[in-house]
């Protein structure tokens, strides 16, 4: 029998928590919460049902599951059906998006076509406070466009969506740990979650930053006093974290420096391309003016094919050499597993 104390000992106390929010969003007694940037806290009653433990993608057992998927040559990008270079065909979407609006276009398509009733996305207020949001239509989805490199526990609101009787099917957009947690949910006894979560849209991700990136790093590393409301977006280009302000001024911080502000739990992630998703999207390995799109399931492939045929996505010629960058980054991230092995011997 496991409970939150096992999770605390195995994951939280060892700084391995990915912050996906699955434990918070699945606790039937709503006893787990995030207060700040670090680990969940327990404040309530525990029935020792073991749900929180069973959905965590960072428990020893589940890291073992992840490890077992690391292929021998450590170069695979995980199971897939097709790989594309693609971008949205809608210029208005591209203008708002981080890259070329593939994720926003997929969300628009699946909500318009009623493939799902709602989508889990991430949005921010003007002060760069990031939070998860349940989008029901394109006007909600528009608020989520662009990547917030700042962490938020995406799945912490999951129970709210799953228990909502007006929602029968849900899509989730998230980074690899969120996709891993959805896989754990699928394997757990939580039947309703399994029934309702119909589509996983995974983003490529090396690491995610804590909110102090804004409050501390910009002051310390850039020696700037920037009001968060002036930040238009973050981007990662040529191994630099780029901070772009609303007046188009740009500042750059080497990724090695920015990495000091990443969540510690990211060190235990061996997945760059969101291997447990239906559709994965990222910049790495894409030709100019496109994003890399990987379909991994029949459902994911059918959606992308429909969108291409319907003129909602434009594709370019796929080039193995260009794509190999995604494989190289993926390989590098998989080698991080050594960190975990070292930790095991502590």
Ligand X SMILES: Cc1cc2nc3c(=O)[nH]c(=O)nc-3n(C[C@H](O)[C@H](O)[C@H](O)COP(=O)(O)OP(=O)(O)OC[C@H]3O[C@@H](n4cnc5c(N)ncnc54)[C@H](O)[C@@H]3O)c2cc1C
**Are the CB atoms for 104 and 145 separated by under 8 Å?**
yes
Size, binding site for ligand X by CB under 6 A: 34
**Terminal CA-to-CA distance of the chain, rounded, Å?**
26
* 25, 57, 78, 101: which one binds ligand X (CB under 6 A): 101
3-state SS, residue 71? coil
* Tokens 């349940």, located at residue: 134
**Are the CB atoms for 231 and 214 separated by under 8 Å?**
yes
Site string (127-156) toward ligand X, x via CB under 6 A: ---x-------------xxxxxxx-x-x--
Q: Which stretch binds ligand X (CB under 6 A): 51-59, 94-102, 243-251, 315-323?
A: 94-102
The whole-angstrom separation of Cα 254 and Cα 256 is: 5
* 18, 39, 104, 280: which one binds ligand X (CB under 6 A): 104
Cβ closest to ligand X, residue 10 vs residue 235:
235
* Least distance in angstroms from the C-beta of 205 to ligand X: 4
Q: Which stretch binds ligand X (CB under 6 A): 63-71, 100-108, 225-233, 295-303?
A: 100-108
Q: Which stretch binds ligand X (CB under 6 A): 38-46, 75-83, 282-290, 315-323?
A: 282-290
Site string (182-211) toward ligand X, x via CB under 6 A: ---------------------xxxx-x---
Alpha helix segments (H runs only) across the chain: 4-10, 22-26, 51-55, 60-68, 91-96, 102-112, 138-144, 158-163, 176-187, 191-196, 212, 218-222, 255-258, 298-309, 320-334, 337-345
**DSSP category for residue 78:** -
The whole-angstrom separation of Cα 1 and Cα 46 is: 12
Cβ closest to ligand X, residue 16 vs residue 294:
294
85 is an interface residue for ligand X by CB under 6 A: no
* CB half-sphere exposure, 285, CA atoms < 13 A: 27
Cβ closest to ligand X, residue 8 vs residue 153:
153
Cβ closest to ligand X, residue 68 vs residue 321:
321
Q: Which stretch binds ligand X (CB under 6 A): 53-61, 75-83, 255-263, 277-285?
A: 277-285
């Amino acid at each position: 029998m496991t409970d939150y104390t096992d999770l605390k000992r195995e994951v939280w106390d060892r700084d391995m928590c990915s912050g996906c929010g699955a434990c918070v969003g699945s606790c039937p007694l709503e006893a787990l919460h995030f207060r700040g940037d670090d680990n969940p806290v327990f404040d309530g009653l525990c029935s020792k049902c073991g749900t929180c433990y069973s959905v965590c993608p960072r428990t020893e057992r589940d890291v073992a599951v992840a490890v077992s998927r690391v292929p021998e040559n450590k170069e695979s990008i995980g199971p897939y059906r097709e790989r594309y270079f693609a971008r949205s065909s809608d210029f208005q979407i591209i203008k708002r998006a981080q890259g070329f609006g593939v994720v926003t276009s997929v969300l628009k398509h699946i909500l318009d076509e009623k493939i799902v009733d709602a989508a889990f996305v991430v949005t921010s207020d003007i002060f760069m406070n990031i939070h998860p949001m349940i989008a029901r239509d394109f006007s909600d989805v528009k608020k989520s466009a662009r990547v917030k490199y700042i962490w938020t526990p995406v799945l912490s609101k999951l129970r709210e969506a799953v228990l909502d009787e007006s929602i029968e099917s849900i899509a989730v957009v998230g980074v690899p740990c969120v996709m891993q947690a959805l896989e754990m949910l699928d394997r757990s006894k939580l039947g309703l979650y399994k029934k309702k979560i119909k589509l996983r849209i995974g983003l490529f991700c090396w690491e995610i930053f804590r909110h102090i990136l804004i409050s501390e790093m910009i002051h310390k590393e850039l020696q700037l006093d920037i009001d968060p409301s002036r930040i238009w977006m973050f981007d990662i280009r040529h191994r630099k974290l780029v901070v772009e302000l609303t007046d188009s001024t740009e500042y750059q911080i080497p990724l090695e420096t920015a990495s000091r502000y990443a969540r510690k739990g990211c060190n235990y992630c061996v997945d760059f391309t969101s291997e447990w998703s239906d559709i994965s999207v990222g910049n790495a390995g894409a030709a100019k003016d496109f994003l890399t799109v990987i379909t991994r399931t029949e459902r994911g492939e059918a959606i992308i094919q429909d969108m291409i045929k319907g003129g909602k996505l434009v594709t370019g010629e796929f080039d193995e050499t260009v794509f190999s960058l995604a494989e190289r980054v993926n390989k590098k991230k998989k080698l991080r597993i050594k960190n975990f092995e070292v930790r095991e011997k502590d």
